[in-house]
């Protein structure tokens, strides 16, 4: 199978997986009898969807030779310190501040 066909096949499969996750998320949001689902379950569904989305994008980047897994790991280690902690995560406020043009030193306390 040539690379274009393989990429098309993988994208189709990833789209199917995304659609499945979307449907699962909708089930959390619309429940029978109007009962609100547990917020933790809803957030878990969102995190799983975002995880799948990130993994899908990573597949596309690697398949198109735009990055490597090692390069991504190195970048993640560097970016992990943007919030001042090497803890395997990044506070969402860091990205919000950057999108508003603030540097870490300019961010209001």
Angle at 18 between CA 40 and CA 4, to 5 degrees: 150
Residue at 11 is within a domain: yes
pLDDT band at residue 70 using 50, 70 and 90 as cut-offs? very high
Domain residues for the domain of 11 are: 3-67
Strands, E assignment, 15-100: none
Q: Answer whether residue 72 is part of any domain.
A: no
Q: Identify whether 91 is part of a domain.
A: no
Residue pair 13/56 in contact (Cβ under 8 Å)? The answer is: no
In a domain, 83, yes or no: no
Domain count, the chain: 1
Is 98 a domain residue?
A: no
pLDDT of 3 above 50: yes
Per-residue model confidence as pLDDT tens digits over 91-101: 888 888 988 98
């Amino acid at each position: 199978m040539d690379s274009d066909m393989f990429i098309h096949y993988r994208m189709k499969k990833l789209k199917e997986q995304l659609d499945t996750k979307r449907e699962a998320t909708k089930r959390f949001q619309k429940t029978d009898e109007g009962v609100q689902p547990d917020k933790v379950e809803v957030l878990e569904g969102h995190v799983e969807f975002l995880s799948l989305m990130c993994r899908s994008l990573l597949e596309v980047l690697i398949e198109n030779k735009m990055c490597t897994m090692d390069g991504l790991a190195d970048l993640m280690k560097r970016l992990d310190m943007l919030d001042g902690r090497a803890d395997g995560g990044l506070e969402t406020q860091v990205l919000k501040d950057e999108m508003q043009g603030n540097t870490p030193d300019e961010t209001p306390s």
